[in-house]
Structure 1
Amino acid sequence: MRVSFCISIALRAIVLVTLSVYVIVRLLSFKQIFFEHAGIRLTQSQVAAPTNIAGPQHIPKIIHHIFHNWRDPGNDTLPPGWASMRQGCMDLNTSFEFKLWTANASREFIETEYAWFLRTYDGYRYPVQRVDALRYFLMLHYGGIYMDLDNGCKADLTPLLHYPVWVTDGGRGALSNNILGARPNHPFWHRLTLSLLPYNWNWPVPFVSVMYSSGQWFLTAIWEEYHALLPKPDSANPDHEHRLYRIMMDGTPGADPWVFFSHQEGGGGTWHTWDNWFFEGIGEHLFLFFATLFSGIALIGWLGLRCMRRSRGYTRLPILPSGYAV
């Protein structure tokens, strides 16, 4: 009985140590996702500065929104809050074309333009993965600006059209895919859309499956891969700059102001699953997480060693009052 108990403790220790090593290795491989990113950092104020508005306009005047109604399929009426946010953008950007991509229109677009991806698109386990993938294909095919429906406009977005490709950067962790800008057929979007196939893994937890197969972690990983392949910036030939742009959208107090965009509080997170709170908690309490993890490993290891010693037949001798063992 004692031997089987010790074996159980030992197996748990092995599993926990293996899991810990795996987590550490994965975090080391993900380090480029969570720290300083490649590309050219631009605040919204810098983009809006008159000196930066001059020059060619690379991005077409199109604003894309996606609405897939998972709760009531077939009902394509936007919720009032999102409809209001979208209308606000339309009022401030009257010269733009606005496209609203419903579930049926989205699938038809993929089937018509990117039939090679349709099987993967239909096979995604989580609906948000289709929304993620669709926005990338829209950037590749049409270009323009993509915006989540819980993001709004605070100004005319025309100054953002002078940068061939940009993503938004919240200043903490991975880059964001909630607002994107691109000229059509840029090589970055070719690389990213082709990478959707090898990254399409179903991980044990939904959050990781979404984030690393099509979401923000995926976008950030491909962003870093793309920049790693670019020639080094040449200060003598600034026209040879090939790096892409990160438009800052840091919402922490004291950060650079938001000139172009707004965000509806509580408007996002429609895809969140049971494990979101866990990973968000890890991100906010990283030191506590690792302290708890290694403390658990040490405790189980100590229990395992103690148990194994007892299973070998050793017993502690009673101590006589005189101090001699019998």
Structure 2
Amino acid sequence: MRIPFRISVVLWAIILVTLVGYAISRLLFFRSIFFEHAGIRLTQPEVATAAVEAAGPEASSRIQHIPKIIHNVFHNWRVPGNDTLPSDWAEMRQTCIDVNPDFEFKLWTEKASRDFIETEYPWFLRTYDGYRYPVQRVDAVRYFIMLHYGGIYMDLDNGCNTDLTPLLYYPVWVTDGGRGALSNNILGARPNHPFWHRLTLSLLPYDWKWPLPFVTIMYASGQWFLTAMWEEYHALLPKPVDGQQHEHRLYRIMMDMAPGADEWVFFTHQRDGGGTWDNWDNTLFASIGDHLLLFFTLLFVAIGLLSWFGLRFYRKYRRGGYSRLKSRPGNVV
């Protein structure tokens, strides 16, 4: 049965509008990832200065929200069962132990992480085990650790310059490299904060297997996912009244490595920990991130060309493939 031409045009129009609407929503999402972030921006020098200023007579009135625990996650999927840290990561971890002697340190191995999920969050175990890429389990377990225990989570390629106690007075914070998505390499939280409740529950609907490994990792559990949850959480907060800043906003600790950026007071960085989960498309997306303006220019040019060719095809189809004959002089109709 052949669908009438007008009905087919309407159906194609609905499909096109739906696809365009979805594309616009995704572009708006990427805008929130790459160009602006909600929350309160704090540089590391500002955190250190606030700690010094609060060390006087009013120090007792300052509330410590985050417990003195530093978490690291190490899943050795290259040599399963070997929980010995690589020497450079062990050295970085030791820098934190040396300058934070009154902190508790917890190293989460692959077995310890799975046992924790199975015991405390069994509803998530099927998703946890079903992740296509091992690094997704590393991403997910850190979020549940923040929810359950609180404390400070750190990737093993980050170390400590000094005592991290000044960072314990902010209920929840993530790190912001100043460009692109927020980072999940260093996190701070008090236990059971609603942000982490919302984020961990959202891991289920975001568990999509995208064609590109990088997109699957970043959008299902990694930095893009964290950034999306961050923006959604802040969008749900009550709007400030009379121009005042709302006290429920969360904090972004700046860790920008660009020339001229604010200095790092608390943390150090060694080799790129992301190298442990490189896939074939990582270089592609790294290049896009370095040339965002060019990428979006080419994207809109491609959309324009596709729209032009689609319009030409539609007009030709509407004419039924026939060309109008030219009239000859002297012909009488």
Q: TM-score, normalised by structure 2?
A: 0.81
**Alignment partner, residue 317 of structure 1:** none
Q: CA deviation at 1:178?
A: 0.3
1:125 to 125, 132, 135: 132
> Whole-Å Cα distance in 1 between the matches of residues 163 and 242 of structure 2?
32
**Alignment partner, residue 5 of structure 2:** none
Q: CA deviation at 1:28?
A: 2.2
The AA in structure 2 aligned to 1:250 is: D
Deviations 1:233-257, CA, capped at 9 Å, x for gaps: 357988x711111100011010011
2:289 to 283, 293, 296: 283
Deviations 1:221-243, CA, capped at 9 Å, x for gaps: 111111111123357988x7111
Q: CA distance change for structure 1 residues 269 and 21 in 2, over 3 Å: closer, same or farther?
A: farther
**Alignment partner, residue 211 of structure 1:** 218
> Whole-Å Cα distance in 2 between the matches of residues 30 and 299 of structure 1?
22
Contact 2:39 2:249 in 1 (8 A): yes
Q: CA distance change for structure 1 residues 244 and 303 in 2, over 3 Å: closer, same or farther?
A: closer
Q: CA distance change for structure 1 residues 266 and 237 in 2, over 3 Å: closer, same or farther?
A: closer
Contact 2:177 2:255 in 1 (8 A): yes
Q: CA distance change for structure 1 residues 205 and 162 in 2, over 3 Å: closer, same or farther?
A: same
> Whole-Å Cα distance in 1 between the matches of residues 262 and 63 of structure 2?
26
Gaps of 5+ in 2: 1-17, 324-333
**Alignment partner, residue 143 of structure 2:** 136
Q: Give the secondary-structure state (helix, strand or coil) at the position aligned to 2:274.
A: coil
RMSD: 3.0
1:258 to 240, 244, 264: 264
List aligned pairs for 1:1-326, cutoff 5 A: 25-49=25-49, 50-52=52-54, 54=59, 55-234=62-241, 241-296=247-302
> Whole-Å Cα distance in 1 between the matches of residues 259 and 308 of structure 2?
45
The AA in structure 2 aligned to 1:37 is: H
> Whole-Å Cα distance in 2 between the matches of residues 302 and 236 of structure 1?
46
Contact 1:233 1:242 in 2 (8 A): no
Contact 1:20 1:293 in 2 (8 A): no
Determine what percentage of the aligned residue pairs are the same residue: 73
The AA in structure 2 aligned to 1:247 is: I
Contact 1:67 1:101 in 2 (8 A): yes
Q: CA distance change for structure 1 residues 237 and 34 in 2, over 3 Å: closer, same or farther?
A: closer
> Whole-Å Cα distance in 2 between the matches of residues 293 and 236 of structure 1?
38
> Whole-Å Cα distance in 2 between the matches of residues 205 and 20 of structure 1?
21
Contact 2:92 2:160 in 1 (8 A): yes
How many residues are aligned here? 302
Q: CA distance change for structure 1 residues 104 and 288 in 2, over 3 Å: closer, same or farther?
A: same
> Whole-Å Cα distance in 2 between the matches of residues 268 and 203 of structure 1?
19
The AA in structure 2 aligned to 1:284 is: D
> Whole-Å Cα distance in 1 between the matches of residues 232 and 302 of structure 2?
36
Contact 1:234 1:241 in 2 (8 A): no
**Alignment partner, residue 9 of structure 2:** none
Contact 1:62 1:97 in 2 (8 A): yes
Q: Give the secondary-structure state (helix, strand or coil) at the position aligned to 1:60.
A: coil
Q: Give the secondary-structure state (helix, strand or coil) at the position aligned to 1:176.
A: strand
> Whole-Å Cα distance in 1 between the matches of residues 306 and 237 of structure 2?
47
Moved more, 227-236 or 246-255: 227-236
Contact 2:206 2:220 in 1 (8 A): yes
Q: CA distance change for structure 1 residues 300 and 32 in 2, over 3 Å: closer, same or farther?
A: closer
Q: CA deviation at 1:58?
A: 0.8
Contact 2:172 2:251 in 1 (8 A): yes
Q: CA deviation at 1:47?
A: 0.6
